[in-house]
Structure 1
């Protein structure tokens, strides 16, 4: 590997420590939520980091010509990350699939 290649930069001590702590925090948070992750915390910590960094770096481009406020972006990003770490999106898809497979027990009251 040549000096300065992406692998060397990503494996820098600072990033290793950041992601180690992030994984611990994700695991702790998921335990508190009572959730077993469907995505490895090692993966979700890196994707979360990238999502936050990209949003911060490209905010003016991504949200140009919108009325979206910064606090709305922060809230959405937070919910997106937490749902992704917990695998909530996948669980909701599974629940929706199960619900659609269950026959309706109530009669429609529509006229």
Structure 2
């Protein structure tokens, strides 16, 4: 019983990883200002029944607007020069693997500039 509760808690928690490194403007050129840091954010969510019910959300809106921009501001940047952003598609044939449970993943990388 205890193992089942631990497994359920882990499944419901999802996962978020934020990796960053500070850079100087002489090391890296950022569009729109001086480069402060390079940031990569990865989130893994959890969905139920063909990706129709989000238990733990993982989408571009939250990953880019909240996590990536929030980390850039925490590191001293004013804005982000977005380099890549990808997410697991949720429609069409991509629903089939998530017939019962799905783990959508979203990843965004950018350069914090000021």
**Under a length normalisation based on structure 2, what TM-score does the superposition of the two structures give?**
0.25
**Under a length normalisation based on structure 1, what TM-score does the superposition of the two structures give?**
0.25
Q: Which has the higher helix share?
A: 1
Bigger relative contact order (CA 8 A; separation at least 6) = 2
